[in-house]
Amino acid sequence: MQVTNEKSIIQKLDLDGYIHQFKQFLAREKPVAMMGDINQHYRYIQALSKVQFPPPKQVPNLDRELNLIKKQGILPLDEIYAFVTMFSYFNTLSAVGFTEPLISWIQGIEIPEEIIEIIGYFTEEGHINPERDPELYKLERAIKQNKSDIKDTLYKLAHSSRLRDYLVDTQVHFNGGEETLLVRGGFNNAIKATVVARSPGGFFYIIPQSISHLKEKESALLSNKEELIYRYCKDISAIFFKWERFLAFINKEYDRFDHYQARVSFARAKEYEFIVPSKSKRIKLQDFAHPAIENPVPVTMDMNKQIMLVTGVNAGGKTMLLKSMLSAVYMSKYLLPFKCDASKTEVGHYKSIEAVIDDPQSVKNDISTFAGRMQEFSKLFSKEDAIVGVDEIELGTDSDEAASLFRVMLDELRKKGITFIVTTHHKRLASLMASDDQVELIAALYDEERRMPTYTFLQGSIGKSYAFETAQRYGIPVAIVNRAKEVYGEDKENLNELIERSTSLEREMRLKIAKIDEELKAAEKQKQKLLDEEFKLQESHRKAIATLENRYNAATKKAREALKVKESTEGRRLLNVAHQRKEFQQKEVKLAEEAPLKEGDKVKYRSHKGELISLRGRDATIIVDGLKMRVPLSQLKRRGDTPKVKVVQKPKQVKVHVEKSGASLSVKLLGMYGDEAIDTVDKFLSDALVNGLSEVQIIHGTGGGVLSKLVTEYLKNHPKIDKFYRMPGNLGITVVEL
């Protein structure tokens, strides 16, 4: 049933000539479909297309022979040689420079030693090689010599004087596989012979009695040779029975490689392209050419909706567009190459392909055109994931009634995952379906000046049938066409134009709305992207400020060390390092400098919102939820509700003065290990005491509380600390009074 359906769809889509051409490249007759993973097949085809390989020899179907081997039957020599041909071909392929995945597949086919030995028995013509068997060699020589003796004897008789008057000619004639002479009547007066046959001219083909003994000898020699060949066939068949599974395997693999090589060879010969079916249900053709058309107008079409409705001029290519779309699906489904721009072509995968194209009317079956169409549509309700082409959908009944009926049926059938390509001349159905988002309107175009169809198509529009123009183009007298136009009426024409215009406007409006929606989504996406980038830049800026602050603290520390060593060489070197780091900090800060914070500004400190009430050097006092706190100025951010003013400041000359007031009011321990944190706190408090500070802050964070506990234990045991306490609000800061 499947094969019958395949033949039917091939004929309906005008692909029978194409399939016939493709099958000429096969080594043996088989269905075009390949079983298994199509993507894996494509990888093998791609690898095979990159190399040159010897074409396989013609081999018959061997299913019957395999069944005979299973029953321990004896195969004749020609059938044995068919298997030998496959063995030899795979041996040849092992020497071809394949790439993966072909190389692993071919090298994985290991031919048993017994089978390889059988290959050596045969000549290229499929005969047993007499060089391998002395007995056969003797028989071959004897048969050859006997034939030569027969030929010489006949030659002498043909040139003898006693037979000259009866000979029609002096040639040796083969009749029924026998060497004979052609003579006239009365030859028995000159020679004893046996008549083999009579010629149309009334002459006789004879075998002279003088070569009868040579004929008998030849018969005996041939009989001995047949016995010897039979022994070979019997022995080889016994070996084949032993390796019956391998023979079935090699037969299957030969078919598989035959599928691949035929496709590659066909594509090379025709300059065709392969299109692997995609998971989507989209059919996008670019410069597609149906193989049945000579010098076709290339089809470029994009169908990404569930229903394509094609309207327009008669004989303008609507049916061929339908067949082209379905043909592309069929050829892609079975990995058959075709002409197109492969880089811009995409064909979806469908479980089945149906074509409702022919007029189903049948006198024999007592069925009308419309009834036949209903029968074909009723079968579609049992299908899923199919693509269906329907030509002239309202064929055979009232167009208005049919439009309503088919509108509902198409809606129901597409719910089952069925995709439709429909052609029609009736605008009623087009107008009913035009407002549906899943319907693609296609118009076949007409050249008004040349009065000819262009065989091109316009998406998103309803086309005119141009029935009167088509009739005139095909020879209907102008007077008759003009009278028909009068009967048709101007009002009907105006109505059709209004339907076309309103439908086109509606489609145009919906397309514009869809375009605006897309642009809005793109703008929203761009806005979100900019917000994300702004957040990243702010985070990067915050990290940069923190890094600069650490460098600045390190620079002041180096400066203090330089103070201690006074004017030593090492002191000057350390001071230079401090100057360099300080200047580097100033350069980096200038890159993204904002207007400086001032008293009264709304600020954000970490996750807390507050107000800046005073500034003191690099520290600031803020009020958060009624609580005052002193924090590093660098950790404050201007709140979003306060307008930002970009200020371009003049570069300031930075000088480092080593003074007591240079000690920091806070220290950060975030991210440090325990020992490192305590060491940092110790140095920080020492500097604060040396510089006469009365209150400092240790920022250890909340986290798991490990650093907080270590700092608390250390401060309890420090002799110079009067008092310490945690800053309210669980900010992870300990205030120390010295």
> Domain limits of the chain?
21-112+243-270, 132-229, 283-488
Q: CA-to-CA distance for 434 and 462, rounded, in angstroms?
A: 9
pLDDT in tens, 635-680: 888 886 544 444 444 444 434 343 444 567 888 888 788 888 888 8
pLDDT higher than 90, residue 240: yes
Q: CA-to-CA distance for 212 and 208, rounded, in angstroms?
A: 7
Q: What pLDDT is recorded for position 452? A: 62
Q: What pLDDT is recorded for position 665? A: 81
User: 522: part of which helix (H) or strand (E)?
Assistant: helix 490-564
- 3-state secondary structure string, 468-512? HHHHHHCCCCHHHHHHHHHHHCHHHHHHHHHHHHHHHHHHHHHHH
Cα–Cα nearest to 259, from 530, 46, 23, 462:
23
% residues pLDDT > 70 (the chain): 79
3-state SS class at 614: strand
Amino acid at 274: F
Q: What pLDDT is recorded for position 502? A: 54
pLDDT higher than 60, residue 591: no
pLDDT in tens, 136-164: 999 999 999 999 998 898 888 888 888 88
pLDDT-wise least confident of 62-66, 118-122, 187-191, 434-438 = 434-438
Segment 122-149 shows an average pLDDT of 92
Q: What pLDDT is recorded for position 496? A: 55
pLDDT higher than 60, residue 168: yes
Residues 181 and 208: beta-carbon distance below 8 Å: yes
Residues 247 and 83: beta-carbon distance below 8 Å: yes
Segment 373-398 shows an average pLDDT of 81
In DSSP terms, 312 is beta-bridged to 444
Segment 437-453 shows an average pLDDT of 70
pLDDT band, residue 472 (cuts 50/70/90): low
In CATH, which of 3.20.20.70, 3.30.930.10, 1.10.260.40, 3.40.50.300 is domain 283-488? 3.40.50.300
pLDDT-wise least confident of 212-221, 307-316, 359-368, 726-735 = 359-368
Q: What pLDDT is recorded for position 266? A: 96
The class of domain 132-229 in CATH terms is: mainly alpha
pLDDT band, residue 52 (cuts 50/70/90): very high
Lookup: tokens for 187: 């030859």
Segment 691-698 shows an average pLDDT of 82
